[in-house]
A and B are shown apart, each in its own frame.
Chain A
Amino acid sequence: MKLTKLLRTSTFQLALVYMTLFASSVFILLGFIYWATAGYMARQTDETIQAEIQGLAEQYQRQGREGLISVIQERIKKDLDDSSVYLFISRTGEYQFGNLQAWPSEVESDEGWINFMLEPPVVADRSGPHHLARGRVFRVEGGMRLLVGRDVHDLMAVQELVSRALTWGMGITIALAFVGGLLMSRSTMRRIESINQTSREIMKGDLSRRIPTRGSGDDFDQLAENLNAMLDQIEVLMEGVRHVSNNIAHDLRTPLTRLRNRLETMQNHIDEPIRQQESVAQALVEADRILQTFNALLRIARIESGGFQRPTDKVSLKELVDDAVELYEALAQDKHQELRADVRHDVQIPGDRDLLFQALANLLDNAIKYTPEHGCIRVWLDRGAQARLVVSDTGVGVPSEERGKVFERFYRVGKDRSTLGNGLGLSLVKAVVELHRGRVWLEENDPGLRVILELPYS
């Protein structure tokens, strides 16, 4: 697995988004901690200095210069940890009093807060690292100035500690999120890779391959199961296509051979217009038969492949049955058969009128074809949980073991390829019924055959 590929996975990108969100939260939290600790201490220091200046100002007002100096002296003495700094200078900048030796160069203005370093020449004898101080200038009458400040070394140390903790915390957070993201995406990617692997094998031609599942029922398992179900369906369809194309080859060879023979006859009898005309007519009949077979195949294929929208118009099945029976009655009478409709209720279903009529016509056609003279054909229409349409005949019937197969394209009962028809009639019926989300099956009529169609009302 290449790292760049890993970084491009959606899981990793999602992890990255989470990482950003999480890091921002951590940053805000640490910022608050910083504000509440180091910030608090800094504010505390500033307030102390402010208060001190306030006190010294009052002292000066009451007791003048001498009083001020004595108070400062006192404070320096009391300040055991050596954290307060004072420097009192004259108008010309000469040292008057305080624990600093010289006016720090950083202090240029008399306004606002100033940070300055405690290093020579400001302090004479501080060894070790130079500390930072923070302070304010207090102006005394007559141009004298007093610098009051505090060594903020400890404060700085705390601030630094907190900010270092903050930086590290952020760093660790980001690193952990990154690693976590990588790990998460790796496991996801491994499963996707197994799907990809299987797909590639299938594309190479091994359609029997299936995607492994972990059995945990998680979303990847569900995806794998769906894909596997899809592959099963594709395999069945592929098998069907193979079967059909074999049958097409077989079934069309006969009429094509006949067509060829007619044309040959025509060629041989080019001087006999009467025989030639005969042959042309017969050749046309053969060509039409081939075309009809192709049209029927295409039609079934289109219905099955969802090329049709699911019909929504209301169709009266009673009207359909009446019309179909009326159309085929003449044909049945020619064979001295009785064709009767038994319609108790009108049943309406959403459907495609022409396709349903085609299906019914195919059933009647078969019934008339396979029922001997003086037989009886009946069409029932009834209402139940679903609309129920039954066509029964007293013909030769279909052996029970073949009843499921008759709906396959080109299937003919008893392997009889010589009889009329193209072997597609019932396939079309099934396709039409399934387009209407219904069911079709065969039953024994004793004697004869019964075809049952169940079509839902919505």
Chain B
Amino acid sequence: MRILVVEDDREVADYLKNGLEESGYTVDYADNGQDGLYLATSEAYDLLVVDRMLPKLEGLALIKALRAAGRQMPVLILSALGEVDDRVQGLRAGSDDYLTKPFSFSELLARIEALMRRGHVSTDVVTELRVADLEMDLLARTVRRAGQEIDLQPREFRLLEYFMRHAGQVLTRTMLLEKVWDYHFDPQTNVIDVHVSRLRAKIDKNFERPLIHTVRGAGYILRETD
């Protein structure tokens, strides 16, 4: 998996490169928009991490040019400009996700993994999700674990659906808020944790092996443990 990081701040770039390489990615790096665009169009990358304020060619312009050239790899914008309108601008320019500086590496990694995964999801309509002995029927909107039906509130259902669609991936609290509640905001308290712990109480409590796990300093993950 190759990732191109376009970032003019040397320190941030090194931090990203080291972190991503430790996580098993091959990382190339460009310190301005022009070189970034050149690399992105001439080499095959699986994902781009792009800063917005870049010398020579601005981040959004880079993405627009890239899309105009027919390159469809996922792009994640990493920017100090983090308000809603900036985000909207970024997404309109053709990026796939937007992360505001300062960011935690685990948040970035979780989002990169989600974007990478998305590239491999088949376009077939899925009607059933399954992780270990947990089954979700998207048409009947029912959930069973080990054959036992579990009663979920609509929001709990959506939360679990998101977990199951991204099974094995770390999901941060911000990602859950954005994708399940569809709001971009900073909760001042652990409001998401409360919802996750309720969901856990329903799907994990009476079973031997828990499926939802807390990832310290990052978020949650749904996976089958051995």
Contacts and interface: CB of A to CB of B under 8 A. Distances in A.
Contact of B84 (A330, A334, A352): A352
A309 B188 contact: no
A339 to B, nearest CB: 12
Contact of B83 (A308, A326, A421): A308
Contacts of B195: 327, 330
Interface string A357-380: 110011001001100000000000
B76 to A, nearest CB: 19
Contacts of A354: 84, 183-185
Contact of A327 (B100, B186, B188, B191): B191
Given A295-B100, A330-B195, A365-B191, 10 more contacts: A281-B217, A295-B82, A307-B83, A309-B85, A323-B181, A330-B198, A331-B190, A354-B183, A358-B185, A361-B185
Interface residues of A, number: 34
Interface string A280-301: 0100100010011001100100
Interface of B: 82-85, 100, 102, 104, 155, 181, 183-191, 194-195, 198, 216-217
A420 B187 CA distance: 13
Interface string A126-168: 0000000000000000000000000000000000000000000
Interface string A206-221: 0000000000000000
B83 A299 contact: yes
B102 A308 contact: no
A362 B188 contact: yes
A291 B102 contact: yes
Contact of A288 (B104, B184, B191): B104
A359 B195 CA distance: 20
B186 A295 contact: yes
A330 B191 contact: yes
A369 B104 contact: no
Given A291-B102, A330-B198, A365 B181 contact: no
A369 B187 CA distance: 13
Contacts of B187: 361, 365
A361 B192 CA distance: 12
Contacts of B183: 323, 353-354, 357-358
A243 interface: no
A246 B83 CA distance: 26
A420 B194 CA distance: 18
A427 B186 CA distance: 14
Contacts of A420: 189
B160 to A, nearest CB: 15
Nearest to B80: A298
A85 to B, nearest CB: 93
Nearest to B155: A326
A331 B84 contact: no
Contacts of B85: 308-309
Contact of B181 (A295, A309, A327, A362): A327
18 contacts: A284-B104, A288-B104, A291-B102, A292-B186, A295-B186, A307-B83, A323-B181, A327-B191, A330-B191, A330-B194, A330-B195, A331-B191, A354-B183, A358-B185, A361-B187, A420-B189, A421-B188, A422-B188
Contacts of B184: 354
Contact of A357 (B83, B185, B190): B185
A365 B83 contact: no
Contacts of B191: 327-328, 330-331, 361, 365
A358 B181 contact: no
A308 B83 CA distance: 8
A425 interface: yes
A295 B133 CA distance: 42
Q: Which of B82, B100, B102, B183 has the most CB of A within 10 A?
A: B183
Contacts of B189: 331, 365, 368-369, 420
Nearest to B180: A327
A307 B102 CA distance: 19
Contacts of B185: 354-355, 357-358, 361
A355 B84 contact: yes
A369 B189 CA distance: 9
A334 B194 contact: yes
Contacts of A307: 83
A302 interface: yes
A407 to B, nearest CB: 16
Nearest to B87: A354
A248 B83 CA distance: 22
Nearest to A288: B104
